[in-house]
């Protein structure tokens, strides 16, 4: 009896559920269809081009995924981006080239921006029915631009000249005399660099160096007086130039600019500056071999270690720690050493690297650099100010330590802090 009742209840329940599904199908069916359409649109607009740029598609599928809005994709489009981006340094002399090597334009950024600006569904391009790619035009928008200034190096050089003459008796004698000569050489110096990330202003100071060498006349001196880099300051940083490009090309809303920037950084930059495995707020650095590079402990928002992308499963190494502190916070040398880099460093933005002899410390995303390459610094010297230059979306210090060239966890120098 009970079994019959149970079966009747189950049968009735199924019948009721079937009736409800049939009656409500216009509602949930429409919602499901809308969700499917929305997902397909999102995939075609964002995921497919991203995977194409990263090379996750191969062969003809790659171009088709990147140019879903075209009936006949350009089979050489990626080579075009590489060729056009490689022209970022056209017309520069070797002297200029050495000063701006770190500002090289990444073709993947060119492709990503061009793909977005040419999409009528994203940029709201009127009277456009399909994707329109224009690598050359977009290149002119995003390429780094440089301003230069002329200076002069003065070289005062002493030389030992042998002079032969005869004495009162007519005997030949030799004497040595120090003579000086002055030559001047032109200097072409980088005054300003404008990139997608920001604008970087270079300042210089007059520097004199003296080298001495032995000779028959005694010690000879060569004195060089020239303009040496004294500092770099970032203005209009935190991607303001790129945001202006977006405002001028169909993206006036700040929320849309921020969305696109976060989207691009998610696959064009190494994981850095994001909230990932933060340390507890009560963690305190224990200073011993190294000095904590900030006047306050800050908040370690991202630790040293491997990052695993939640969707792609791609593994990337985060070679340092990110410390969240306000923009303009002073950054100090962690130990005595020699500055081996002071300036722009690609995705790291404004950066300082110090060699301590077997140990190297690195300080990235600065808003200003206060030392120059080749300078000797002492523990606690001011070397820069915290910023968000390079591929960073907010102010923080990315701090690295390397031993023998290999990255090691910086927190191991400050009492650990690594989670179990």
pLDDT digits (tens, 9 = 90+) for 127-170: 556 788 999 999 999 999 999 999 999 999 999 998 888 777 77
* Alpha-carbon span 210 to 184, nearest angstrom: 16
Number of H helices, E strands in the chain: 10, 16
CATH number 2.70.70.10 is the correct assignment for the domain at 269-413: yes
- Is pLDDT of 126 > 60? no
Residue 255 confidence (pLDDT): 92
Mean pLDDT over the full length of the chain: 84
- State the pLDDT at residue 17: 58
* Whole-number pLDDT of residue 137: 96
Per-residue pLDDT tens over the stretch 230-250: 889 998 778 999 999 999 998
Percent of the chain exceeding pLDDT 90 equals: 49
pLDDT band at 420 (very low <50, low <70, confident <90, very high): very low
**Sign for the pseudo-dihedral over CA of 133, 312, 107, 304:** positive
Minimum mean pLDDT range among 124-128, 184-188, 259-263, 298-302: 124-128
Rounded Cα distance, 321 and 344, in Å: 19
364, 351 contact by CB (below 8 A): yes
Residue 73: predicted pLDDT: 84
Is 19 a residue whose pLDDT tops 60? yes
Query: Domain segments of the chain: what residues?
Result: 1-143, 147-235, 269-413
- The pLDDT of residue 11 is 57
For 12-32, what is the mean pLDDT? 60
What gap in Å lies between CA 149 and CA 94, rounded to an integer?
Answer: 16
Q: How confident is residue 311, by pLDDT bands cut at 50, 70 and 90?
A: very low
Total residues found in the chain within this entry: 420
The model's confidence at residue 13, banded by pLDDT at 50, 70 and 90, is low
Tokens 């792609």 correspond to 312
For the ranges 216-225, 258-267, 283-292, 360-369, the lowest mean pLDDT is seen at: 283-292
Residue 307's pLDDT is 67
Q: What is the pLDDT of residues 339-355, one digit of tens each?
A: 999 999 888 999 999 99
And the tokens for 79? 């080579």
Give 391: exposed, middle or buried? Use CB within 10 Å, 0-12, 13-18, 19+.
Answer: buried
| Cα dihedral: 269, 272, 274, 278 (round 10) | 150
Distance CA 238, CA 234 (A): 9
Query: Does residue 6 register a pLDDT over 60?
Result: no
Quick check: 1 pLDDT over 80? Answer: no
């Amino acid at each position: 009896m009970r079994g019959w009742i149970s079966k009747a209840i189950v049968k009735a329940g199924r019948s009721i559920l079937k009736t409800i599904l049939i009656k409500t199908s216009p509602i949930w069916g429409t919602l499901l269809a809308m969700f499917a359409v929305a997902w397909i649109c999102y995939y075609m607009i964002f995921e497919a081009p991203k995977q194409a740029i990263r090379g996750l598609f191969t062969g003809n599928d790659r171009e088709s995924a990147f140019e879903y809005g075209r009936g006949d994709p350009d089979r050489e489009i990626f080579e075009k981006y590489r060729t056009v981006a490689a022209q970022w340094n056209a017309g520069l002399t070797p002297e200029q080239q050495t000063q701006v090597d770190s500002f090289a334009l990444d073709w993947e950024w060119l492709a990503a921006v061009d793909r977005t600006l040419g999409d009528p569904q994203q940029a709201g391009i009127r009277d456009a029915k399909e994707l329109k790619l224009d690598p050359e035009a977009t290149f002119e928008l995003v390429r780094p631009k440089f301003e230069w200034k002329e200076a002069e190096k003065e070289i005062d050089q002493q030389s030992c000249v042998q002079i032969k003459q005869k004495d009162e008796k007519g005997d030949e004698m030799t004497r040595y005399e120090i003579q000086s000569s002055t030559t001047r050489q032109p200097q072409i110096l980088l005054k300003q660099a404008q990139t997608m990330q920001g604008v970087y202003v270079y300042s210089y100071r007059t520097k004199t160096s003296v080298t001495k060498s032995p000779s028959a006349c005694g010690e000879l001196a060569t004195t060089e007086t020239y303009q040496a880099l004294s500092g770099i300051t970032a203005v209009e940083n935190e991607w303001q130039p790129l945001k202006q490009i977006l405002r001028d090309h169909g993206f006036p809303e700040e929320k849309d600019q921020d969305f696109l920037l976060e989207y691009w950084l998610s696959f064009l930059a190494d994981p850095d500056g994001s909230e990932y495995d933060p340390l507890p707020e009560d963690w305190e650095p224990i200073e011993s071999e190294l000095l904590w590079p900030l006047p306050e402990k800050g908040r370690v928002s991202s630790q040293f270690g491997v990052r695993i992308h939640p969707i792609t499963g791609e593994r990337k190494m985060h070679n340092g720690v990110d410390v969240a502190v306000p923009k303009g916070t002073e950054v100090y040398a962690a130990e005595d050493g020699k500055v081996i880099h002071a300036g722009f460093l690609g995705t790291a933005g404004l950066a300082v690297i110090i060699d301590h002899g077997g140990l190297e410390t690195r300080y990235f995303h600065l808003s200003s650099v206060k030392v120059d390459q080749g300078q000797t610094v002492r523990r606690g010297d001011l070397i820069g100010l915290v910023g968000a230059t390079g591929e960073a979306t907010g102010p923080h210090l990315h701090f690295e330590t390397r031993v023998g060239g290999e990255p090691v966890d910086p927190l191991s120098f400050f009492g650990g802090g690594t989670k179990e």
